[in-house]
Amino acid sequence: MNIVTIRASSLAELFDCPARWEAKHLLGMRMPSGPAAHLGTSIHAGTAAFDQAELDGAPITADDAASAMVSTLRDKNAEVDWEDVNPADAERIGLALHTRYCAEIAPRQRYIGVEVPCERLEIPELGIALTGTTDRVRTTAAGAGISDLKSGGRAVGADGIAVTAGHGPQLGVYELLAEHAVGIPITAPAQIIGLNTGKTAAAQRVGMGEIESPRAMLLGTEEQPGLLQHASRLIHSGAFYGNGKSVLCSAKYCPRHATCHYKS
């Protein structure tokens, strides 16, 4: 069986619309980032600069770390379709969330890894290899755990808790990757750090949420196959059917949209 690489961040998309996953991840069909994704990438850059400096024992201020966010956001080489979003507005929101993360979230965390890459975790019996970068590995009273930063307009509920629904498969892969890359058991619940990209100050919330043992749904049991087994069967069958009911079934998010027979 040939080995097919699955990026952690793409696993949910494989089940949401296999045809879109095939287009993007096997056929290499690309499209520019949207404003939300590019803002998320920029916030990741700024917060990582802040946390890495702390981890290195040479802390920097939130203002200093913000330059990494701003330079990523303004990167002229990044392919971004800004649509009707003003980049200056995105920068304002990004800076507000970056500042809140540095003041409200980072001081409560004990990170032992920042942007931890895992080149490849092969599972030969399934014919797949997992790859990706785990945002953070932290220590807690319950042992080491992974943390994942999620930004977006619905990343944090009105109750101040980060939305965790739908993120289990991706976090499960990050747990496997982090354990492989760092070489220590991951035993604490997986954590999502939500950064809510609302237009108003009140809607620019940060918050945290947890998922207990997200690996369980990936690995399954003797009686019930896990998502990785399903992913393997789907990919190696070559049956990349489309899902016209996917919320991302639009020309804005799918590079196959113009020619796809499954679209709604």
Q: Which is nearer to ligand SF4, 100 or 263 (CB)?
A: 263
244 makes contact with ligand SF4 (CB under 6 A)? yes
Q: Which is nearer to ligand SF4, 67 or 250 (CB)?
A: 250
CB of 138 to ligand SF4, least distance (A): 35
Q: Which is nearer to ligand SF4, 15 or 262 (CB)?
A: 262
CB of 257 to ligand SF4, least distance (A): 4
20 makes contact with ligand SF4 (CB under 6 A)? yes
19 makes contact with ligand SF4 (CB under 6 A)? yes
Is the dihedral angle over the CA atoms 251, 253, 257, 258 positive or is it negative?
positive
Determine contact, residues 233/11, Cβ cutoff 8 Å. no
From 123-131, 186-194, 200-208, 253-261, span contacting ligand SF4 (CB under 6 A): 253-261
Residues found in the chain = 264
25 makes contact with ligand SF4 (CB under 6 A)? no
CB of 233 to ligand SF4, least distance (A): 19
Non-local (6+) Cβ contacts of 209 within 8 A are: 161, 162, 163, 164, 191, 192, 194
Residues that bind ligand SF4 (CB under 6 A): 17, 19-20, 242-244, 246, 248-249, 254, 256-257, 260, 262-263
